[in-house]
Structures are given as structure tokens and as C-alpha cells.
Chains A and B, each alone.
Chain A
């Protein structure tokens, strides 16, 4: 780390902060970059501004004079720079400590640590008693996660190769990312597919090779009122879910019971006995049928009729297949 760079960054911040008016670029150069000129100075100055902005320092750019519009100045408003007064109790401080351990991902863990450091001066001296909250963790193993996170954050377009399920080769996509979402242990990105001019959702693990971020930040706007979760729900491949009624023997079918609603107990079942429960499950016919079949004589597909016929039909075929001695080769 270069001490002189740190000095320069801090001095730049102070210089722009303590002036009431915009500081001309040339004045900044004379004081802080006396050995630099022309393009070299521009590049150095741009990098330094970028570095300060990354730290959360808002640098304003303004026109110095009404007559010469090429004269640019810079300033930092003290009220824009300062963290609003936040007072936290010891209990609230321990919540923050816990939050600092959530991200099991290098970049995001660093960002969280930087945020917590800024909050340190506002924390009470005495430590709070530990709360009864177990430590959650969020991971992101997908190599392209950082890029999609940054692109979402900075509203840059992303170009990447994507392999659609069932196809052998990957196709090039250009996306304006609106948000990232994690579900069932996987990260997805959703947004506007620029070439198809439609909302799309992509699974990060199906992105092949490297991504390319657009050079321009704020390259697009997320449509006002976009609810990422709602969009994700809308874009999910449609499964033909329907209400299906299943009879389960009392005490059987735990997996199905967890996802369904109990409608009645002590129902008369297909064997004539009345120790059955009626359960309503919302699901795809083939998938719920598989669950019912798994349970053998402990479950019965009751209604609608096509559900009943589907399960009954599969059992007929299985009985037929098993009744013929198999030779070990295809029929």
C-alpha cells in the first residue's frame, strides 16, 4: 500500500470538503498533483475520485462559470458525506455483529465489514448479551456471481454465454440486470434480455465462461416499482399445478402431509375401512402421482378423475410388466 496515495486521497477529500464552492480542477492539480499534467493527471485524478466514491464519498461535479463551460469544479457537501446520526443499543449492536458473519463470500464479506467499521463510532461501549439467533449464512459459489452483483449494483449491462437446459451449446445473451435472487441454494439473475426485448431469468450456474460488463454505469433504469421476487415468480417455468385430493392412511404419508392441507379425518377409504385422511395437495399431476405411488397401499388418488385414472393406469401397467418374467433385455 502506498502511504502517499492514502495521503493524497485523504487530502483530496479534505480539500473538497472544507470549501464552500466548487474547487477548480486546475487548483486541485497544483496542490495535490504538482508533478502530473495532461492525460496522466486526468487518469490519476479519475482513479482517485473513483476510489473515494467506492468508499461512499459523494463527489459533486459543477460548472464554475457561466461563460466558460469547460471549466469544471468539484466539491463534497459535508451533509452528503456524513452518516446520519445512528444510535444503537448494545442489543442492536450484537445484531450487527451477527450480520457481519452472514456472507461466506469474499467480496460481500468485505463490503459488510466496511459498513460495520463506519458504524463503530455509534456503537455503545459495553457489549450486549448474545441474542438467541442462530447464525445464518449466505454463500455464492458461482464464479460469475461477483459480476452480476456488480452489474445490478451499478446498472451496467452484462453479456454472457448461457446454456439453456436441454440444448447442447450456449447462446450469447445481453442483459440489463434488475436483480439477483437466491432460491433453493442457487443464484439467479433477472432483467431485460436486450436482444429479445423481454424479461428473462437466468440461473448463474448455467452461465458459461466469463461475463463482460458494460463500461458505462447507470446504463439503464430498472422499471419503477419492480418487485424482483414477483418478477421471478412470474418468469418461473409454468408447472401445471392443480388441486389434487389424496386419501392417506392415518399416520402415513408424512412427506405429502407437509405440503398439503388436511381436509377431513376418519374418512372411509378404498379398502372400506374408515381410518383414512383426506388431504388436498397443490401440485403437478405427474409429480404428486409419483408420491402417491411411492406410498403403495397407504395412499389413494381420489380426485379429480384424471388423477385417479393416471395412478390406476400406471399401476395396471406395472403389474402387467412385473407379471411377465424379465429376461434382462429390452422387450
Chain B
């Protein structure tokens, strides 16, 4: 898979796949989609990169230490955002009860904490896909 045509077409196409993945994640509150589907699209972009340019370059761009760090501390990020509710005197993971401005429905920043939580879960899903791919690809060596 070290063909010249493959490499040039991937270099053109991969940025657009990444933009589409972030679009689906960030517009989860106002359009169809959501963080799980967007995270899968982001992970696929990274997998396409490391399939076409070789596993060594892929592991250089996404180091395994960073991947395992995100995988281990991802849920902690979710919990820390949930603590905002307790600090403001409302239940854990509260959104409207904690007095957060919900914004105008339909815009990018609507929904209060939902955008932050969605971004975290999306990056987490992409990360999981990458770890699975690297582990299964390197299992035979």
C-alpha cells in the first residue's frame, strides 16, 4: 500500500474527513448525528492515514503513550465536568438546574454542558478505535 497515487489522494482527502468528523461531533446538539458517529469518523481518518503511510509513521504521529493516557483519564474528564453541578449546589451532572446558560436553540453553543461532554466522548471513541487497530495490527510481530 505504498503507492504514489494512494498517498497523494489520501493527502487531499483526509483533512476533509477530519473536518466532517468534527462537524458531526460539534453539531450534535442541533442536527442529526452525535458524538459516537462523529468519533467513529475521526478514528477512521486516523486509521486510513496509518494504513496508507505505513504503521511506523502512524505510530509516530499518534504515540501509544498519549493514546493510553487519553483512554485511562477520559472518564475522569467526564466526572470533573459533572462536578460543576455539585459546586453550584445542584445534583451531579446537572445542566439547567446548576444555573448554566443554555443559549439559543439551534446555534453551536446551545445546550450548556452538552457540547463539552459530547466533544470528550467523541475523542474517546476515536481513541478506542485507534488503540484496537494498532493492537490487532501489531499482534503477529
Q: Do A and B come from one complex?
A: no
Q: Which residues of A contact B (CB under 8 A)?
A: none
